[in-house]
Structures are given as structure tokens and as C-alpha cells.
Amino acid sequence: MKLAINRSTVIEYSKSIVIAVILAFFLKSFFFETIVVEGTSMQPTLSTGDRIFISKLEYNLNLKRFKKGDVIVFEAPDKDASYIKRVIGLPGDIVKVEDGSVFLNGERLEENYIDEDSYTTSDNESRETLVGDEEIFVIGDNRALGASKDSRRFGSIKQESVRGKAVIRFFPFNQVNEL
């Protein structure tokens, strides 16, 4: 049995493949991206090997609608890598780590996303940090000593360094949830 493929069929398949590739590139560049979590800095929320979708649209449109509690992916200020952390403070906020807790504008922050017995430490425990214009203050959910490189170590990050907001964990399949 011979398989007869004519030229018009090859052209049609080629067009479909090219369109699919362009569409995938466009979606990945401007709308969403998948990320594989590496490291333990976001435990218990996220673990090594978890796969998440990040939404890039609002950041590509320069809307920058950051909210306290958002989990974001950003370009690390201290090396050529990306970090995933939780937004704690927005421009104008005052963040302070004291007595194992995070204080935001003088009020102890209720953090139901960290382990109950977590004790938050900082290199500068007595220092208050004023979050500057176009900046955000981020901390990993794992508060064990040295478990997360975040704003406690390198200060607030520039909003322009944000790649996107984590919206859903889609793997492992038994832990699919919104973030």
C-alpha cells in the first residue's frame, strides 16, 4: 500500500505547524509561562519539582497590579536567575522583622501560608525597611534560617524585574490549586 501525499496536503500541514508554533511563542511571550520550582524557599506552599503557570499579561501591559500576598516570579537581583517569592510590602509600606514575626506598617502580619511554628529571622532584625516607589518587598514562605534569599537579604526589588504572577500549580496532579 502506497501512501500518496500530494503537494497541497504538505503545504496545508506546514501552514498549520507554523501557525501553531507562532501562536505558542506569542502565548508564552505575552500571556503565560510554565515554571518548574527549584529549591525550598516557598515551602510549604510550593516544593521542588512543582510546576506552575505564571500570568504575564498584566506585567507586559505595564498594569503592575501587585497585591500583598501574591506569589510572583522575578529576575533575581543578586545573580542570573529567577526567584519565586510572596509579596509582603508595596510602595510606601514599612516592613520590619521582629521577634519572629513580620510587621507591616506597625501591625503584625497574619501569615496563614507559613508553617504554624515558623520563626521569621532577618539579617537586620531591628531595621525597618521603607518600600520605595516602583518597588516591592518579597519574602519566601519557608522562614527557616537561611532557607530563602529574599528582600530581608537584598532589599526591595524593582517592579520592572517581575516576570509574572503565579496563578496555579498544575503538577503534581494531586496538588492542583490556585496560588
Determine which one of 2, 8, 41, 151 is catalytic. Answer: 41
In the block, residue with C-alpha cell 520550582? 37
Q: Are 41 and 140 in contact (CB under 8 A)?
A: yes
Residue 140 and residue 39 in contact, taking contact as beta carbons nearer than 8 Å: no
Question: Which residue in the list 56, 85, 149, 165 is annotated as catalytic?
Answer: 85
CA 140 to chain centre: 10
State how far the Cα of 32 lies from the Cα of 58, in Å rounded to an integer. 10
Give buried/exposed letters for 10-25 (b at 16+ CB in 10 A, else e): eeeeeeeeeeeeeeee
Tell me whether residue 153 is exposed, middle or buried, using C-beta atoms within 10 angstroms of its C-beta: 0 to 12, 13 to 18, 19 or more. Answer: middle
Residue 148 annotated in active site: no
List 171's β-bridge partners, or say none: 51
Look at the block and give the residue holding cell 525550598: 40
Query: Which residues are marked as active site?
Result: 41, 85
